[in-house]
Structure 1
């Protein structure tokens, strides 16, 4: 990804890592909360087409009328590093993150591609020119299926089914957990197409160091008829997958077909 207004996130994070390490190393717990993205938005780094506008973190590009652009990729990262594990003590952090979001196809029956919440090792190289919307802004053709080149865990909200997705070629929006590859380790259906346009989804992602389970719950409280809930979990030993210090954030992408990807609020808390 490139952006004439923002330096690449990967270079910024590499530059600030040593400074942040000094300030964060003594902290056993950490938290932040963004009720919207007008509040302390300087703590959110954006790259590609991502931006903060009117209190909303927009991951992909849209025009003044809110219509999404095709072939748009955006990335946002919290301005700081998180102490996820400690090799010396063998401890791994418990954490919880919650966010509300809107994915809007703006009247298109087929839409895509989706967005992710990710946790990446410091130094993970996000692609500079990932034009394939199916890679959700995290990978390119050289890295998408090569687990040895990646150090990232993501929860994907995938609204368009690619050939590596479950139930291909039938289009089936899904939520998945990805470990070092765009191919999900586990998926559940995502009911985005059953929601009225503009519906607000709420996601909660938790990790328990004792169980070593990453769990995801997604709800649409105003879904017609009843509250729609999707849940999934998968065992992950973060100490063996990612570095001790990590970065967290969101990515989003569109391809030939498009949709909006907006994050409305976000909170995170961890304890090591």
Structure 2
């Protein structure tokens, strides 16, 4: 059974789709680029929960400042989504789009090696609830509620997660707890690789490129740090048209639990060709 949309979220979805239809000129390609998230920009983004644009970045989870002291808020959850629908495949022709998105991010753990919980880039059906699922803090990363997080029949979501705290369902052994994973309809990653977040300097900028090649039907995620050099790519063969509907929504989510850290998106670009 699908989750019922709130009146606000249903109206939000309808208005966004009408705006898409009004502005859409038949085209085989689409792109956008946010080199930063300055307040003066018309971002075309919607923010939910604790997410907000501040200081030229998107803060996915909340940090508070009191008398010059910054603290990270526990059990904070936020989402930032692009408001217009994107056409992932063409129902008439069956053609599937290729896309590439690139973003830079910073996770700040304030020097602690035990911190959490992480962030993600995600794709969901455009007509799905855009708001944050209930009970999705901590290891659920603002993606799925704990009640449905492993129900692959109910969920329709594809995500690349950057998970900094090992939960019971995460990879073993403990030493590879922090990981980058590709999630398909579940918070449990289909494929994953160690994320050496505790071996790079504090506030290091991670550069991510997520690609989908429709010709070979392969999703890939590449993460790079400059110093020390970290560069790896995770790939998963998948036909996205069997997972997601024709029109989708893209965005970021982040969450903390009992353990805390910050999750900032510094820049974001996206391009799609069908």
Indicate conservation of the 8 Å contact 2:159/2:184, yes or no.
yes
Q: Structure 1, residues 6-47: CA drift from partner, whole Å, max 9, x if none?
A: x96665234322331343361210000000001625311101
Residue matched to 1:161: 166
Structure 2 Cα separation of the partners of residues 238 and 142 of structure 1: 24
Q: Give the alignment's Cα RMSD to 1 decimal.
A: 1.8
TM-score between the two structures when normalised by the length of structure 2: 0.91
Equivalent of 2:77 in 61, 73, 79: 73
| Corresponding residue of 2:101 | 97
Q: 1:218 to 1:163 in 2, by over 3 A?
A: same
Cα distance in 1 for partners of 2:170, 2:10 equals 28
Other structure's SS at 2:190 match: strand
Deviation at 1:247, TM superposition (A): 0.7
Cα distance in 2 for residues equivalent to 1:146 and 1:73: 21
CA distance in 2, matches of 1:25, 1:235: 31
Q: Is it true that 1:44 corresponds to 2:78 in the alignment?
A: no
Alpha-carbon distance between aligned partners in 1 of 2:10 and 2:226, rounded to the nearest angstrom: 36
Q: Give the Å deviation of 1:222.
A: 2.3
Is the deviation greater in 162-171 or in 243-252?
162-171
Task: Report the Cα offset of residue 241 of structure 1.
Answer: 0.7
**Correspondent of 2:254 among 252, 255, 264:** 252
Q: Aligned partners of 1:262 and 1:121: how far apart in 2?
A: 24
In structure 1, how many angstroms separate the alpha carbons of the residues matched to 2:158 and 2:14?
Answer: 19
Structure 1 runs (4+) deviating above 6 angstroms are none
Matched, 1:63 2:48: no
C-alpha distance in 1 between matches for 2:170 and 2:11: 31
Unmatched tracts of structure 2, length 5 or more: 1-6
Counterpart Cα distance in 2 of 1:41 and 1:117: 21
Distance 1:140 1:124, change over 3 A: same
Residue matched to 1:3: none
How far residue 124 of structure 1 moved from its aligned partner, in angstroms, is: 2.2
Task: Tell me the TM-score normalised to structure 1 length.
Answer: 0.91
Aligned with 1:257: secondary structure? coil
SS at match of 2:72: coil
Structure 1 pair 10–35 and aligned structure 2 pair: CA distance change class (3 A): farther
Count of residues in Structure 1 that have an aligned counterpart in Structure 2: 263
Provide structure 1 residue ranges, at least 5 long, that are not aligned to the other structure. Answer: 1-6
- Aligned residue number for residue 152 of structure 1: 157
Q: d(CA) in 1 for partners of 2:162 and 2:10?
A: 23
Instruction: Quickly say closer, same or farther: Cα 1:209–1:128, change in 2 above 3 A.
Output: closer
Taking the TM superposition and a 5 Å limit, the aligned residue runs for 1:1-272 are 11-24=11-24, 26-38=26-38, 40-64=41-65, 65-125=69-129, 126-167=131-172, 172-223=177-228, 227-272=229-274
Q: 1:91 to 1:50 in 2, by over 3 A?
A: same
